[in-house]
Amino acid sequence: MIYGYDLKNNILYMDEYQVPAYDIETNEMGVCSACGASLLSISYHSFDDKLIIVDTCPGCNSIYAHVYNTDWTWLDEIVISHFFSENNQGGDGGSGIIKERVGASVSFQLLNSIPMKQLQTIFSPAEINAMFARAKGDECIRQYLYNARKKYGTFDDVFGITINV
């Protein structure tokens, strides 16, 4: 499933579904797996039998969807890689956050152009976070970056894309 998020209207996109927030609340949400800063929730969503909290990291600007079942058992953490601006809803473009970053590094542009599903096939969420942080010039957890680097050859073999972060 591809996750996207409209920062302006607090709408979570899950594949073709648009899930508006049922609550907007800022709470501490644990620790960012990319940089270790405390995550802050942005909005709360309900979809099927799942509750999803979208939260953001003030340290590295990562945005996550944390998925729970209805009794708040944690199920999954997803790095949201696609953002939507008001001019580009439903497309695959970026919000201000990503657009400001593009141009900073060729590695980042390459990485950002790879569909998240492909990245998730080979890399763990923490490794993907580390790769994006590194490509953006932000701090990252080296161990995750090193783990990711060991898989670049595999990614190239499978998808024909050479990552160099």
Shortest Cβ 46–Zn ion spacing (Å): 26
What is the distance between the alpha carbons of residues 155 and 104, in angstroms, rounded to a whole number? 24
Residue with smaller CB distance to Zn ion, 32 or 51:
32
Shortest Cβ 55–Zn ion spacing (Å): 10
Residue with smaller CB distance to Zn ion, 100 or 156:
100
Q: Which residues pair with 78 in a beta bridge?
A: 65
Residue with smaller CB distance to Zn ion, 29 or 119:
29
For the four alpha carbons of 138, 110, 61 and 81, in that order, the dihedral sign comes to: negative
Q: Give the residues lining the site for Zn ion (CB under 5 A).
A: 32, 34-35, 37, 57, 59-60, 62
For the four alpha carbons of 68, 21, 80 and 47, in that order, the dihedral sign comes to: positive
Shortest Cβ 40–Zn ion spacing (Å): 11
What is the distance between the alpha carbons of residues 27 and 30, in angstroms, rounded to a whole number? 9
